[in-house]
Structure 1
Amino acid sequence: MYEYEEIREAIDSYLMERFIYRRSLVRLTPDNIVTARRNSRIDLYLRIRRIESLFPPDCIIIARLGFSKERAGHGSHFVQFLAEIALKYGFKYIGLESVNEKSTYFARKLGFYSIDGSNYAVSVKNLLLYFQNRR
């Protein structure tokens, strides 16, 4: 099993446990995009990239992240989990793509910096320090 499939499996296990699903939710596309199948509680679309683009190299990019219950801590908890996965597999950044007003606030709260006004990134190291200091 190669690392992207291991990442997919870890995310799937996390979501199944946290949201009490019995069947797999997450799939990996041939171009290394992790998506959750359509359901009423979770909307997830991640890009896993080792090469530099608009985002820095070695970046897991959150293109879409939504939960039916907002402001319940699910987003922060997932980003913390994703940072731990990123560290394990040698990714250096987490990115947020095409943010709206709510996700801009979320990004700034977690220490992300603006790349171009609508896309944000943060080093995994800084993100983990943020969560460590919240304890």
Structure 2
Amino acid sequence: MMDIIQQDKVSRIVEGDSDRKKSEENAQKFSKMLNCYLSREFEEKKSLTESVIGHTVNAHGDEYELYLRVTPPKGGIWDSDTLVIARIGFKEHRRGHGRNFMAFLVESAGSIGYSKIGLECTNDKSDAFGKRFGLQKHGVYNHLLGTVHTITNNLK
């Protein structure tokens, strides 16, 4: 009996390590894609994206500030097939930057392996932004979540 319990523990540890490694690889890949997108969208000449810790990607420039969790490992409030926008901000408002960014996220979903997009700890502005694309309340806090399919339909 003890051997079965030990094997189960080892199995969960190995699975957790595998999930974290996959999340980190996804974050590295997404970081490169995001950098290309930001270079086109804002005509940035230098790289301003960096993978931070594990599955997080931080991007900041004069025109934007973004903080994302790319396919977080299992165990938290977000599923591992989710890209989470933890922070989103653009210097110029009402210029289509948010819409273009959501279109980029939808286009990137297949390459990175997420089928949902979440918006973490929303305020009034980010709540309205998320709901415009079909995101709905998720969990007990001010989180929103939507499928890539729903967001794609709301981008049309």
TM > 0.5:
yes
Q: Does 1:20 align with 2:43?
A: yes
Whether the 8 Å contact between 2:27 and 2:56 is mirrored in structure 1 is no
- Give the match for residue 46 of structure 1: 68
SS at match of 2:69: strand
> What TM-score results when the alignment is normalised by the length of structure 2?
0.77
1:128 match: 152
Q: What is the aligned-residue identity percentage?
A: 28
Deviation by residue 1:86-135 (Cα, 9 ceiling, x = unmatched): 2222211100001000111111111001013500010112112222xx2x
> Does 1:89 find its partner at 2:112?
yes
CA RMSD for the aligned pairs? 1.5
Q: Which residue of 2 aligns with 1:76?
A: 99
User: Match of 1:106, as an amino acid?
Assistant: F
Contact (CA 8 Å) 2:133, 2:150: kept in 1 or not?
A: no
Partner of 2:12: none
For 2:133 and 2:141, how far apart are their aligned partners in 1? 16
**Structure 2: which 5+ runs fail to align?**
1-24
Tell me how far apart the structure 2 counterparts of residues 73 and 119 of structure 1 sit (CA, whole Å): 23
- Deviation by residue 1:53-105 (Cα, 9 ceiling, x = unmatched): 21233111001111100111101110110121122222111000010001111
Partner of 1:104: 127
**Alpha-carbon shift at residue 33 of structure 1 (Å):** 0.7
Equivalent residues of 2:26, 2:112 under 8 A apart: yes
Structure ranking higher in helix proportion: 2
Number of equivalences: 130
Regions of 4+ moved over 6 Å: none
1: CA distance, partners of 2:75 / 2:101: 24
